[in-house]
Structure 1
Amino acid sequence: MSYGVAAALQAAVYQRLVAQLPGVAVHDAVPPGGGAGTFVLIGPEEARDASDKSGGGAEHRFIVSVISDSSGFLAAKEIAVQISDALVDAVLTLSRGRLVGLAFQKARARRLEAGALRRIDLRFAARVED
């Protein structure tokens, strides 16, 4: 197993989201002050060995979140749909390694801060070869 493709995968996901979500900020850390409005956060990741006899590989399970201070879930869900459409079965060019497949696994929508914020976490699994 190798974690060597992790940064290249994140960079490719980031580039895809920025291109597909004009006007929506995409971050890999919560903005100073907690952020305002609606933004996308590339978040936690877990990698597991997926090597086989043909070579080294890994499965990266990662979360992309939509965080919004809109009064309802609709605005956040519309962006979540765009994220899913942009990433599921995407053909991403990585600066290291190769993306074999990218799939949606699950989503969770919830209210935060006594209902002042909406957060949708989308979990994806990417199979990569190094």
Structure 2
Amino acid sequence: MSYGISAALQAAVFGALSEDAAVASLSGGAVHDALPPGPMPPLYVVLGPERVRDASDKTHDGAVHDFTVTIVSQGAGFGAAKALAAAVSDRLSGADLVLSRGRLVALRFLRARASRRDGGREIELWFRALVDAETP
């Protein structure tokens, strides 16, 4: 096992979310893998932390990546944030993403946490990706 597939997985997740019509419509195209400088839009998506552990066996090198996608809203209610979170979850849950290195075996939703943050709202979605180091 290595951490080598992490960047390929992140790029595939970012691409999938950036190119999804529902996510783009609800977020106004504000999907980020790192927050840009300056004022932020009222509703956006940002890729977040990940935890990775070995999932290798005798025949394959693999890893389990638990990662977050966070929806941030400056609005007073959760409605818009929850609609965007649902679109993100719909796009990623069970997705068959193509990685530039290795291959995605499975991708599923794990859990979510909705909270108030700095006068706005935040929904943190956790996903689990199982990756194999071998490219098909």
Report if TM-score (shorter chain) is over 0.5.
yes
Match of 2:76 in 1: 71
Paired residues in the alignment total 128
Q: Please show how residues 43-122 of structure 1 align to structure 2 within 5 Å.
A: 43-113=48-118, 116-122=119-125
CA distance in 1, matches of 2:46, 2:12: 14
Give the match's secondary structure for 2:48.
strand
The structural deviation recorded for 1:2 is: 1.1
Q: Do the aligned residues in 1 keep the contact of 2:30 with 2:41 (CA within 8 Å)?
A: no
Identity of aligned residues (%): 52
CA distance in 1, matches of 2:14, 2:111: 19
Moved over 6 A (4+): none
The structural deviation recorded for 1:34 is: 5.7
Match of 1:16 in 2: 16
Residue 122 of structure 1 aligns with an amino acid whose one-letter code is L
TM-score, L = length of structure 1: 0.94
Give the match's secondary structure for 1:100.
strand
* Counterpart pick for 1:127 among 104, 127, 130: 130
**Structure 2: which 5+ residue stretches go unaligned?**
none
Q: Do the aligned residues in 1 keep the contact of 2:75 with 2:121 (CA within 8 Å)?
A: yes
CA distance in 2, matches of 1:19, 1:28: 14
**Structure 1: which 5+ residue stretches go unaligned?**
none
| Cα RMSD, aligned residues only | 1.0
CA distance in 2, matches of 1:34, 1:120: 20
CA distance in 1, matches of 2:117, 2:76: 12
TM-score, L = length of structure 2: 0.90
